[in-house]
Amino acid sequence: MVISIDSPLDMHLHLRDEEMLDIVAPLSAETFSGGLVMPNLVPPVTSKEDVRSYRERIRKAQGEHRFIPYMTLFFKSDYSPEFLESVREEILAIKLYPAGITTNSEGGVSGFDLEELSPVLGVMSDLGIPLCVHGETGGFVMDREAEFIPIYEMLARHFPDLKIVMEHITTKAAVEALDRYENLYATITLHHLYITLDDVAGGLLQPHLFCKPIAKRPEDREALLKTALAAHPKVMFGSDSAPHPRDKKEAPGCAAGVFTAPIALQGLAQLFDRHGALDNLQAFVSDNARRIYGITPIEKTVILEKTPWLVPEIYEGTVVPMFAGQSLEWRVLSAE
């Protein structure tokens, strides 16, 4: 069996910088038509010059592959209206991190004081710049996302014209919030469709499946799966593919992140196929994002074939992917 995906998009992607960028950018660019690139570099992407120069580095790293790096800015509450207007054409969205909640988020927002956030959010709303949010509180790790839902709702209420994307949702609570506000959207990763905390820590400890937000309960995974398989019109695929060098993952103090970029389409095809939902894959992995963000990605046709494919143990001797050394039921035949 063979399926064709038209211009797949990865709406939440970490490409990092320097050597890691050189390793991972071609792996996304090979099969995806574009990706929303997260701005949590060290230091974060906060100026027009940062955006432009990071885009150039990505373009250089992606090589021959046709791929659009949709750029984002790291949310700061002190951006001026003039700056936001001037940077509008360079970016697709602005990403908000609560301070210290995940990799390189130290410069993020502390507390969610509407008075502090409103000037920038108001301008974003006026300019039509979507707000992408890593929605976790500093609470107990299993509760952080659910505790954050009232903040999403508060933002959605106060800025009804602002598109707010709940990034990498992991809970039933977030899925349910999606339908309560017209301007709330969400991305869902590959790994949160496959795993629960049981896969991370239920047997032996698996650092390569350790991520933020942490994988949750079986009923949470079920809710995510149901909404992704149905290609809910407000939900997009965003891998949150987050590469770390192997030695950083396989040591105490292991960094959070699952590297899925090069296996994402194969893993999605397997999952949608197993659940008889292949017809919805195109919407989940491309059409919904085009509509929500109003983008027209470059044309790329990806042909996937249902034939066993052995996932590499490691890429460039550096990054271990999800399903490393295991067999997936689908492979990429071509992407042109």
- Taking CB under 8 A as the binding criterion, the range among 182-190, 198-206, 260-268, 305-313 that sits at the site for its own copies is 198-206
**In the annotation, is 240 catalytic?**
yes
From 138, 64, 67, 51, select the one nearest 101 (Cα to Cα). 138
Element spanning 256, H or E? none
Query: Interacting stretch for its own copies, rule CB under 8 A, among 43-51, 118-126, 202-210, 297-305?
Result: 202-210
Q: What are the φ and ψ backbone dihedral angles of 160, each rounded to 5 degrees? A: -65, -20
Backbone φ/ψ region at 316: left (φ over 0), alpha (ψ -120 to 50), beta:
left
Whichever of 2 and 251 has its CB closer to its own copies, that residue is 251
Q: How far is CA 72 from the centre of its chain?
A: 12
Q: Which of 111, 253, 276, 317 binds its own copies (CB under 8 A)?
A: 253
End-to-end CA distance of the chain: 19
Site residues for its own copies, 142-171, by CB under 8 A, read 142
Distance CA 117, CA 111 (A): 10
Using CB under 8 A as the binding rule, the residues of this chain from 1 to 60 that contact its own copies are none
Q: How far is the CB of 311 from its own copies (least distance, A)?
A: 15
201 binds its own copies (CB under 8 A): yes
Question: In angstroms, rounded to a whole number, what is the distance separating the alpha carbons of residues 36 and 69?
Answer: 6
- 82, 89, 111, 140: residue in contact with its own copies (rule CB under 8 A): 140
Q: Which residues contact 248 (CB under 8 A, 6 or more apart)?
A: 254, 255
Tokens of 319: 């990054």
Which helix (H) or strand (E) element contains residue 57? helix 48-62
Q: Taking contact as CB under 8 A, which single stretch among the options 59-67, 73-81, 197-205, 262-270 is the one that binds its own copies?
A: 197-205
Nearer CB in complex with its own copies: 82/247: 247
Choices 62-70, 85-93, 137-145, 227-235 (CB under 8 A): range interacting with its own copies? 137-145
Q: How many whole angstroms separate alpha carbon 203 and alpha carbon 213?
A: 20
**Shortest Å, Cβ 140 to its own copies:** 6
| Catalytic residue (one of 50, 220, 240, 287) | 240
* Residue 336 binding its own copies, by CB under 8 A: no
Task: For residues 146 and 169, give the distance between their C-alpha atoms in angstroms, rounded to a whole number.
Answer: 10
**Cβ nearer to its own copies, comparing 45 with 146:** 146
CB of 246 to its own copies, least distance (A): 10
For tokens 């399926």, name the residue: 3
Least distance in angstroms from the C-beta of 39 to its own copies: 21
Place of tokens 């993952």: 249
Tokens of 100: 């210290």
> Taking CB under 8 A as the criterion, which residues in 255-294 touch its own copies?
255-256
Signed CA dihedral, 123, 128, 133, 137: sign only: positive
Q: Is 206 in the site for its own copies (CB under 8 A)?
A: yes
Kindly determine how many residues on this chain lie close enough to bind its own copies according to the rule CB under 8 A: 26
Q: Which stretch binds its own copies (CB under 8 A): 60-68, 170-178, 206-214, 269-277?
A: 206-214
Does residue 173 bind its own copies (CB under 8 A)? no
Helices 48-62 and 18-31 cross at an angle (nearest 10°) of 70
Q: What are phi and psi of 327, to 5 degrees?
A: -100, 130
Which one of residues 64, 78, 89, 204 is an interface residue with its own copies (CB under 8 A)?
Answer: 204
Pick the closer one to its own copies by CB: 49 or 250: 250
Q: How far is the CB of 208 from its own copies (least distance, A)?
A: 6
Burial status of residue 129 (CB atoms within 10 A of its CB: 0-12, 13-18, 19 or more): buried
Binding site for its own copies (CB under 8 A): 140-142, 196-198, 200-202, 204-208, 210, 214, 217-218, 249-256
Catalytic residues: 240
